[in-house]
Structure 1
């Protein structure tokens, strides 16, 4: 599914996450359509955004989900996928953006990332929404919005 429209309060965790996912979809499309020089610029923007998003999401949402026995396995699965995606980003950052290997790895990253966010939006978020209160979701939205800029400032393109 693409470009989902958030339907809840702007302070809601799921609204914030889906808004980021929509931004990431657009960045991935820009990378795919760009020439070599623009590709690097768009990829760097995506890498920082995706890493900051994942770290803030883990702190705001997954930490709460881990404490709920009905949601623990979904949270663990998503955290594992975040690590796989971050590893792919770091691997791509070390490659020549004009190479066939870069294009192949980017195609793999795009496929994996789109699969991940679709799974979150269609399976994980609805399951969490059923278990969590509106107040918890608002609190998590605030944590996410607070943490993401801090995580983005600490993020790197490629391995440290």
Structure 2
């Protein structure tokens, strides 16, 4: 019974996240496939909230892949993805990793996650600077998708699991409150920052 209830909680949390992505472009299909197994999905704490965002991001990545470069949907979805990933990373660092960094048992996990945030941020800025109607843009986007899916898989299956061990229930609930507040503020301040990773040769 408990397992069935857990499955239902997980499914509801994932559906809620996907619905938020679908609201940006209702006619674009979502195909996120299987997601990594985690007992943290749907929990009323910071980890459940972070994974809800991850599922939303998986949906946005899938939807962008399904778009035509000449249509408005790709631009709208990519803009939302940029704002989402930048705000999520900043709020996650402030709500979770700032605390986890201070514990010697989890310092390396936190450092690794934060370093990957910086790499992903640079990839987003590079894509923002390029013509999304070109085939090469989609190739670079595929690299971003691969990198981000790898990053959140590591977070969900390794870094969150280790962090969970050193945090109390009260810590985790408080961190969710911090994350919610900071994410809203960070998303309102987020910008599209076109910056090529490698200078184009004329």
TM range (shorter): over 0.9
Q: Tell me the equivalent position of 2:88.
A: 53
- Native 8 Å contact 1:95 1:101 kept in 2: no
- Native 8 Å contact 2:60 2:77 kept in 1: yes
- Native 8 Å contact 1:88 1:109 kept in 2: yes
Give distance in 2, aligned partners of 1:159 and 1:99: 16
Give distance in 2, aligned partners of 1:139 and 1:44: 30
Q: Tell me the equivalent position of 2:182.
A: 147
Aligned: 1:18 with 2:51: yes
Q: Tell me the equivalent position of 1:66.
A: 101
List alignment gaps of at least 5 residues for structure 1.
Answer: none
Q: Could you say which structure has the greater relative contact order, defined with CA pairs below 8 angstroms and 6 or more residues apart?
A: 1
Structure 1 position 6, deviation (Å): 1.6
Q: Which of 67, 73, 77 matches 1:42? A: 77
- Native 8 Å contact 1:55 1:151 kept in 2: yes
Q: Tell me the equivalent position of 2:61.
A: 28
Aligned: 1:2 with 2:2: no
TM-score, normalised to structure 2's length? Answer: 0.75
Q: Greater share of helix residues, 1 or 2?
A: 1
Structure 1 position 7, deviation (Å): 3.9
Aligned: 1:98 with 2:98: no
Give distance in 2, aligned partners of 1:140 and 1:130: 15
- Match of 2:43, SS state, is coil
The superposition leaves residues 90-113 of structure 1 with CA deviations (integer Å, 9 ceiling, x where unpaired) of 000110011122111100000000
- Which structure has the larger Rg over C-alpha atoms? 2
List alignment gaps of at least 5 residues for structure 2.
Answer: 1-33, 196-202
TM-score, normalised to structure 1's length? Answer: 0.94
RMSD of Structure 2 on Structure 1 (CA)? 1.5
Number of matched residues?
Answer: 158
- Native 8 Å contact 1:27 1:46 kept in 2: yes
Q: Tell me the equivalent position of 2:159.
A: 124
Give distance in 1, aligned partners of 2:115 and 2:182: 20
